[in-house]
Amino acid sequence: MKMDKAALTAFLDSDFPQVKDMFAVETVGADTLTMRLINSPSLLRPGGTVSGPAMFALADVAVYLTILSQIGPKALTVTTSATMDFMRKPAAGVDLLCETRLLKLGRALAVADALIFAEGDTRPVARASLTYSIPPEG
């Protein structure tokens, strides 16, 4: 059961209310998704830039929803591996956008890449590679 933008947003709102105001699904494609991290003072580190943990959360949630867009609302799909490279400081005061690409979708594992950009800048600020375990049917 595939999930579109509306279904993914509703899932995030109902199953993860603690972060529903932090993220917004922008677009959903065949094996891609773009998600917005809504800028907030609580996400900033000294110097006024978005913190590394907030960027990791953006990549993690964006890839999670990319996978769910293909397999349906399997909430127990979990991160098993993650690598993140921080490449440049994002501009202060802007939202971040994460573009994901699903590289492999198997019965038990899914692998995806994520690029994070400061809104209005084409140069990525971070890159992540994530693997998720998909719960068995039944």
CA 119 vs CA 6, 12, 18, 28, 111: distances in Å: 22, 22, 24, 18, 25
The whole domain housing 109 covers 5-133
Q: Is residue 44 part of a domain?
A: yes
User: Tell me, what's the pLDDT at 137?
Assistant: 80
**Which residue type, as a one-letter code, is found at position 90?**
P
CATH number at residue 28: 3.10.129.10
Q: 116-133, pLDDT tens digit by residue? A: 999 999 999 999 999 999
User: Tell me, what's the pLDDT at 49?
Assistant: 85
Q: Which helix (H) or strand (E) holds 32?
A: strand 32-37
Mean of all residue pLDDT scores within the chain: 94
pLDDT-based confidence at 1, cuts 50/70/90? confident
Q: 30-72, pLDDT tens digit by residue? A: 999 999 999 998 888 887 789 999 999 999 999 999 999 999 9
- Number of structural domains (the chain) is 1
**Which residue type, as a one-letter code, is found at position 106?**
G
How much is the pTM?
0.95
Q: Which two tokens stand for residue 40?
A: 């907030």
Q: Is residue 55 part of a domain?
A: yes
Q: Is residue 138 part of a domain?
A: no
59 vs 130: CA distance, rounded Å: 8
Q: Is residue 119 part of a domain?
A: yes
User: Tell me, what's the pLDDT at 138?
Assistant: 65
Q: Is residue 80 part of a domain?
A: yes
User: Tell me, what's the pLDDT at 45?
Assistant: 84
